[in-house]
Amino acid sequence: MPASPSSSRHPISGTRTADRAAHVVAGPRPRTALPASSWSAPVPDRPARTWSVVLAVTGGLATETAFPERSWWPMAFVGIALLLLALRRESARWGFVVGALYGLAFFLPHVWWANEAVGQPIGWVALSIFQALYLAGFGAAWVWVRRGPWVRGHPWVQVVAVAVLWVGAEQVRGRWPFGGFPWGTLAFSQTEGPLLPLASVGGEPLVSGAVVVLGALLALVGLRLSRRRLAWAGAPATVALALAFLPALVPLGTGAEAGTLRVGVVQGNVPVQGAEAMGQAREVAENHADGTLALLERTEPGELDLVLWPESASDIDPRTDAAVAAVVDDAARAVGAPILLGTQQFLPGLRYNNYILWEPGTGADPQVEYTKQRPVPFGEYVPYREFFRRITSAVDLVTTDMVAGTGEALVRVGIERLGRAVPITAAICFEVAYDDLIRDGVLAGGELIVIPTNNASFGLTQESAQQLAMSRFRAAEHGRAVVQVSTVGVSGVIGPDGEVLDRTGLFTAEQMVAELPLRTSLTTADRLGEWPGTVVNVLALVLLVGGLAGRHRRAR
């Protein structure tokens, strides 16, 4: 018996054949209200592809302005909202394209410093494209996830689900491949805003998740207002306001718990901006020695407990070069304090990035040394060199591969005034972006965090300010004072609550003096460790599997 017209459905739209005929005769169907799902719009309510592109690109550019140098932190919410609005079409392939466009619009300006460092655009463009692929994957995955039986038709569940999926993608991007690249993590955009105290509770996963939830709520409010559903817009607007500002009430301890440390911070600058590093290494060491002597204009000899020099303050190893050793030792004797300084150790075909302690009159203490554990791929070493050389000869700008160190990110410095060794968490340059490395150093006993860095290769770009924002995040996350000390700037002294107490300019020779609290208590984020990220990854995987299963059921 033939099926009646009312029982026949169109294979794409799902509407009944008779209904479609009536629709053709009667004219356009009124715009459908969305009582449940606000992301999976019916056909008439979907944004055109052109508008999807505009929203995605605008969203990426808006998100980037939330990061230094601009630091317009609310723009991160706006950027995420625009991305989610651009992702409302029910096509995973189109979601991939939209996510990629958003990612390129964000990363191309965000890592512009890579072009400055390499001297040709291939490194900058390749890095931007590769990072954008993670956001492309997020875009496709979100289309799948919202089809899941637990997510589809439930806007509030979708708000949480999209945050889980985003943070899961960030976790993968920050760890794979070659150790990952956490640069551009949304949490780092919030160091000027009221969400920063959440870092002490759940670290990057919680703060990034909160940013995405706020962006999703903002998109939800915008959609409901566009449909003149004013009453329905009130609830997400209220929740968004509460989530945006209530975290500022989370208490952050700042007092000293194990005494204080009097430090001098020396930013020596480089003689010639952009010159080859080793060619001016002796002059850079002399600049930092001069800066140490300049500390005596503000302090008396022996008044400081410790002087901090940056990464590459002496790329010629004072442990093996007598002339450089004399420069360092004269400075340490004059100020009457040990110096923590960055140098490089060369072995046949290999090099190590070391942070060592120089005692006045004694020299390098062989028991106090940290070796960088996360060298930068394609910046400090080249994986699969032969393969990538076929793509570009720029890989040979890295002439000697840097080898990763092992052990804790910690140095124990004997402080005579305190009568004990003070454990200091140390992470060199880009390592400030890796939460597990610094957390391990704090859990091992670190009472202060020091980030020695060398930003000379990045010119006048925003790279050093982005690093300073990460240092601020680490301070609030672990409840520790942080010192970021750079060869050329930006250097900064940061309180345990993330507040910048003092900072320098860029490509200047400056010094800072500070008395910093030494702290031993652990934050909730320290105690939880990897658990927030692990839980998010599991939930993201469950959501993705559920979404794919839902898609399969509907296809059948």
What is the token pair recorded at 234?
């009130």
Rounded CA separation 527/143 (Å)? 35
What is the token pair recorded at 132?
């954008």
Rounded CA separation 26/272 (Å)? 76
The 3 state secondary structure assigned to 426-451 is ECCHHHHHCHHHHHHHHHCCCCEEEE
Helix extents (H) in 111-154: 113-118, 121-145
Evaluate whether 313 touches 331 at the Cβ level (below 8 Å): no
Helix extents (H) in 230-271: 230-245
Rounded CA separation 78/479 (Å)? 29
Helix extents (H) in 227-373: 230-245, 281-294, 322-335
Rg (CA), the chain: 27
Cα end-to-end distance, the chain, whole Å: 23
Evaluate whether 84 touches 215 at the Cβ level (below 8 Å): yes
Place of tokens 């400055």: 116
Place of tokens 């399969």: 552
Closest CA to 381 of 359, 361, 397: 397
Beta-bridge partners for 514: 263
Q: What 3-state DSSP class applies to 362?
A: coil
Determine if the peptide bond prior to 69 is cis (ω within 30°).
Answer: yes
What is the token pair recorded at 31?
């715009």
Rounded CA separation 500/498 (Å)? 6
Q: What 3-state DSSP class applies to 313?
A: coil
Cβ-based neighbour number of residue 54 at 10 Å:
15
User: Distances in Å between the alpha carbon of 44 and those of 65, 271, 432?
Assistant: 33, 63, 47
Question: Which of the residues are catalytic?
Answer: 311, 372, 429
Place of tokens 């106090």: 368
Task: Tell me whether strands 339-347 and 410-415 are parallel, antiparallel or unpaired.
Answer: unpaired
Q: What kind and span of H or E run contains 389?
A: helix 385-389
User: Distances in Å between the alpha carbon of 219 and those of 222, 226, 421, 481?
Assistant: 5, 10, 52, 37
126: Cα within 13 Å, side-chain hemisphere? 12
Q: What kind and span of H or E run contains 84?
A: helix 75-86
